[in-house]
Copies of this chain bind each other. A is one copy, B any other.
């Protein structure tokens, strides 16, 4: 018996493989199983192809339900947007937390274990969008996250509409979001000199990350690495493991639909510094932390504050953890917390701004791939080729000195020593070249990594805003309220874009300055070595 579904909203196909479907039309499904938010089926005109799963409602006897099979496990707080947000992972993950919450063992696994906690979806942060709905894709979330993180992403997102739906953007726009928002949860967007921006953080702080230390549990049976974090606003160190970061990351992604949560550094080290994996990860975490603490919204959200300030008391930790997992101001409800400026936005202008930003991110994503390739290759060449060349010259100078030493003329002794020292200087310079990339090039590479993560986040953020805009254009009937809510989404998106540009300019400026300063002192070190060698020739003049 053919499975049918009723179409809830108009969908206009824009890509090959998609089909257009109209509100109230009944379509035939080829399978009930979604593929990354899409269903395959045939419309009433006999066209077969893909359409967003959330745009239709499967027709089953007399029960109208969503198609992800989680309705039974979902709690009251979710009902307000469950039907229009089947893929935000919240249901799936909260249910898995609920079943495992009594035995909190997963927290004791090795830090790089792939525990269920680590399987929180990256949601907005990953593309092509992954939403590990436990029933359809059990256990694949984690590895797919890694995959998504390490590949170039901007411009590849074909899943335009499901993101809008998943993020809660659509539910909010359609007035389906409802939650109690305390004053403390309110997030202000203000009009700045350069357009909408997040209200400046009145209590800015930073947080240091110490070198990880090895910790053991169960009388040494289990060991893990722990990072000491000291936020400046408490000045109290807390210890966190990588999995804690990972859990926090999952919460943040779920919580903030149009905020670019910086990606965590890779779980697995690749490339040439495998041996300093921990040091490299620490640097990555420092970047991550800087981006967190410098974001006015992220820096002060409850879950991050809990992560930064909760001490060794396990009970308090678990309490905060559960509270965060039950936070109702996620997804659609996040938009309820936003206080936009009083000025209305010109949506046409917003659209062109967003288009411009899209072009920008695409170009930046492409070009930082080139930069990364160049500097990695440059680093590799310095470590191998440059070093080898300087050392070969150094060795040959030493050979020359050795030949000269065979002559017993006393007036040659000073020269022989000087040439030999010159050889050593060249060998040392070879070492300088080999050491240098980790002093500067690697840091640029780390910076590019964090920005690659942001750039991978933005297509989804843009899609949320675009989805809202399209909706407003499509349905003129509720213009007033819909318009206001679209305004809120647009303000939040523009504020986030503004924040991105500000941190980008700040980060690239300071990193390039740092890089140049490092290069200058590198070449000065070489010069000093050569000057030292030159002096040896004066010894017996």
Contact = CB atoms under 8 A, between A and B. Distances in A.
A11 interface: no
Contact of A377 (B356, B378, B389, B501): B389
B533 A516 contact: yes
Interface string A95-119: 0000000000000000000000000
Interface string A402-432: 1110111111100100110010000000000
A400 interface: yes
Interface in A331-390: 356-357, 359-360, 363-364, 366-368, 370-371, 373-375, 377-378, 381, 385-386, 389-390
A537 B408 CA distance: 57
Contacts of A422: 512, 516
Contact of A527 (B360, B366, B406, B523): B523
Contacts of A363: 402-403, 406
Contacts of A508: 400, 404, 415, 419
Interface string A60-74: 000000000000000
Nearest to A370: B396
Contacts of A516: 422, 530-531, 533-534, 537
Interface in A504-531: 504-505, 508-509, 512-513, 516-517, 519-520, 523-524, 526-527, 530-531
Contacts of A371: 396-397, 399-400
Contact of A531 (B412, B520, B526, B530): B520
Contacts of A290: none
A366 B403 contact: yes
A519 B509 contact: no
A194 interface: yes
Contacts of A409: 194, 501, 505
Chain A contact-residue range equals 35 or more
A515 to B, nearest CB: 8
A537 B524 contact: no
A271 to B, nearest CB: 18
A230 interface: no
B378 A393 contact: yes
A159 interface: no
A505 B389 contact: no
B367 A396 contact: yes
Contacts of A531: 516, 520
Given A367-B396, A523-B530, A412 B505 contact: yes
Given A363-B406, A367-B400, A378-B389, A537 B512 contact: yes
A519 B530 CA distance: 8
A78 interface: no
23 contacts: A356-B408, A360-B407, A363-B403, A364-B404, A367-B402, A367-B403, A370-B399, A371-B396, A371-B397, A371-B399, A374-B396, A385-B385, A400-B508, A409-B501, A409-B505, A412-B501, A418-B512, A419-B512, A509-B537, A516-B533, A517-B534, A520-B534, A523-B527
Q: Which 3 A-B pairs have the closest CB atoms?
A: A374-B396, A363-B403, A367-B403
